[in-house]
Structure formats: structure tokens, C-alpha cells
Amino acid sequence: MKKILLTICLVVFLVAGSQIVSAQDEITECIKLREKVTLRMPGESSDATFKKGVVIAPRKLDILECVDYSAISTQCGNTGEQSGNCYTTEFAIIVALSYLNFVITWLFYTLMLIVTIMIIYGGFLIITSAGDPEKAGKGRKAVTFAAIGLAVALLARVVPSLVRFVVGV
């Protein structure tokens, strides 16, 4: 069993490593942002906001280089809201933040769905316990753990905003 797990880990490591090495070439694609991204550009005192749906690229691109989009010949501004397609040297961080925000949002929604299901399940166990203290206790535990999960999920969603507010970013 250990040999099988070691082989699987080695294969995953080699495949991931080859993908990372191949990704080191110059980026020639443009990306349509899935989420709004706010970023403080180097040397600037105010933020630049990239709206959801804006297409960005790492450099000027001709029509044929940017699949499904028009040519990108406008440089993104370092401050204010970016509502049109543009290119920027901060391409990688903007794309990473956009995808990270997208994944975090969906994880939050998934957690909220699980919490809702657990509360309904716990309530069902309490209602149908018919005086059985073991079944009622199991239902109370399910509701308690769901409430704890809800609190953790909400804190995880609020803490980054609080840190940004306190730090002033």
C-alpha cells in the first residue's frame, strides 16, 4: 500500500512539476476576469480596480494573439476603475487574485449550503426524536456544529476585509 501511495505522489509531483516548468515561458494569452479585483499598483497612493469581465493581457496583443477578443493596445491605468480591455505588467497578480476571489466565493456558497442542510438535518432529528434523549442529543450536536461552521465561514469572509480596512489598503 505504501508503494502505491508513494508512486501516486511521485507521478503527481512529476506532472505538476512539468506544468510549472512549462508555465515559465512568456505568457501570450489574454484573460477575462471572473471577479472584480482591487489592487494598489507599485508607486501609487490609490487603488486600481479591474471590473468583472474586463479582458487583460501582459503586453500589447494583436487580434490573432488574443483568442475570442479584439486586439489589446491600451495600457491599464495605475489608479481608478478599469472598465475596458487593457494590458499591464501586473497581469499575473491580477489574474491570480481574480481566480482566488472566484474560488473563495464558491467555497463560501458551498459552506453555506452544507450549514443549511446540517441545520435542517439536526432539526429533523430533534423533532422526530419522540422523547429519545440520544436522538435529540444527536440533533442538538448537529445544529451546534452547523452554527459553529456558520460562524467560522462568516469570520473567514469578514477577516480579510477587516485587515484591509485596518491596514488602509
Q: Is the pLDDT of residue 19 over 70?
A: no
Look at residue 138 in the predicted model and tell me its pLDDT: 92
pLDDT tens digits for range 27-71: 457 778 877 887 776 677 777 788 888 887 777 777 666 665 566
- pTM for the whole thing? 0.62
Look at residue 68 in the predicted model and tell me its pLDDT: 58
More reliable by pLDDT, 77 or 2: 77
Q: Is the pLDDT of residue 24 over 50?
A: no
Look at residue 167 in the predicted model and tell me its pLDDT: 66
pLDDT tens digits for range 86-98: 777 777 777 787 7
d(CA 46, CA 169): 9
Number of H helices, E strands in the chain: 3, 6
Per-residue pLDDT, averaged over 103-111, amounts to: 85
| 80 pLDDT tier (thresholds 50, 70, 90) | confident
Query: Residue 71 in contact with residue 61, Cβ under 8 Å?
Result: yes
* DSSP letter assigned to residue 81: E
For residue 168, which phi and psi values (nearest 5 degrees)? 90, 25
Look at residue 116 in the predicted model and tell me its pLDDT: 93
- In the block, residue with C-alpha cell 488602509: 168
Look at residue 121 in the predicted model and tell me its pLDDT: 93
| 159 pLDDT tier (thresholds 50, 70, 90) | confident
Query: Residue 37 in contact with residue 51, Cβ under 8 Å?
Result: no
d(CA 78, CA 85): 14
pLDDT tens digits for range 111-145: 899 999 999 999 999 999 888 889 999 999 999 99
Helix (H, G, I), strand (E, B) or coil at 35: coil
- In the block, residue with C-alpha cell 449550503: 113
d(CA 93, CA 89): 9
